[in-house]
Amino acid sequence: DADVTQTPRNRITKTGKRIMLECSQTKGHDRMYWYRQDPGLGLRLIYYSFDVKDINKGEISDGYSVSRQAQAKFSLSLESAIPNQTALYFCATRDGGDTEAFFGQGTRLTVV
């Protein structure tokens, strides 16, 4: 099983719908991140969390919300999806200190 699991892997939804992307990890890491990736724009940070009670906005948080239900789970919600939120979304986790981030396999979201 993957250390960082994202569900769903692919999703097509309609404009205005609420959608939740889920991320769970078995690595025991305290830090979790949500990124979106668009062609030519790289990975952009949406939200990040250091523990259940510590959630922070990233560079592009407008239109998104998150929930850290447990140390192992970090969900990203689009309250009212719009077409320019069509992107590849990645969840990542890392431990504190000089450690690398581990990524989930990504969720490809299409808003029509």
Partner 1 sequence: GQNIDQPTEMTATEGAIVQINCTYQTSGFNGLFWYQQHAGEAPTFLSYNVLDGLEEKGRFSSFLSRSKGYSYLLLKELQMKDSASYLCAVRVYNTDKLIFGTGTRLQVFP
Nearer to partner 1, 15 or 56 (CB): 56
Quick one: which of 7, 20, 31, 72 contacts partner 1 (CB under 8 A)?
Answer: 31
**d(C-alpha 7, C-alpha 11), whole Å:** 9
Nearer to partner 1, 81 or 91 (CB): 91
Of the listed pieces 16-24, 37-45, 65-73, 74-82, which binds partner 1 according to CB under 8 A?
Answer: 37-45
**d(C-alpha 13, C-alpha 101), whole Å:** 29
CB of 74 to partner 1, least distance (A): 15
DSSP for 18-50, written as a single string: -EEEEEEESS--SEEEEEEEETTTEEEEEEEEE
Cite the beta strand spans of 26-111 per DSSP E: 31-38, 42-51, 54-57, 64-70, 73-78, 87-94, 102-103, 107-111
Binding flag, residue 84, partner 1 (CB under 8 A): no
Quick one: which of 66, 87, 92, 111 contacts partner 1 (CB under 8 A)?
Answer: 92
Residues forming the site for partner 1 (CB under 8 A) = 31, 33, 35, 40-45, 48, 50, 56, 58-59, 88, 90, 92, 94, 96, 98, 100-106
